[in-house]
Amino acid sequence: MSNARVYCAGPLFNVKEREEMEQIAGVLEARGLKTFLPQRDGLELTRCVEQLQTIGHSASEAAELISEAVFALDVYQVLHGCHVVVANLNGRVPDEGTVAEAAMAWARGKAVVGYKSDSRSAFAGEDNPLVSGLFDFCLCSALEDIAPVVLEKLSQLDASAHDPDREGAIGGRIGLGKRIWEVLERTRDVEEIVRTITGSRPTCVAAG
The answer, yes or no, to whether residue 56 has pLDDT greater than 60, is: yes
pLDDT interval class at 206 (50, 70, 90) = very low
pTM for this one? 0.82
In SS3 terms, 14-75 reads as: CHHHHHHHHHHHHHHHCCCCEEECHHHHCCCHHHHHHHHHHCCCCHHHHHHHHHHHHHHHHH
| Number of helical H runs and strand E runs in the chain | 9, 4
Q: Residues 42, 45, 46, 52: is their CA dihedral positive or negative? A: positive
pLDDT interval class at 202 (50, 70, 90) = very low
pLDDT interval class at 200 (50, 70, 90) = low
Do 119 and 139 meet the contact criterion of CB atoms below 8 Å apart? Answer: no
Q: pLDDT averaged over the chain?
A: 87
Q: Which domains does the chain have, with CATH numbers?
A: 5-199 (3.40.50.450)
Q: What is the pLDDT of residues 163-182, one digit of tens each?
A: 554 445 455 778 888 999 99
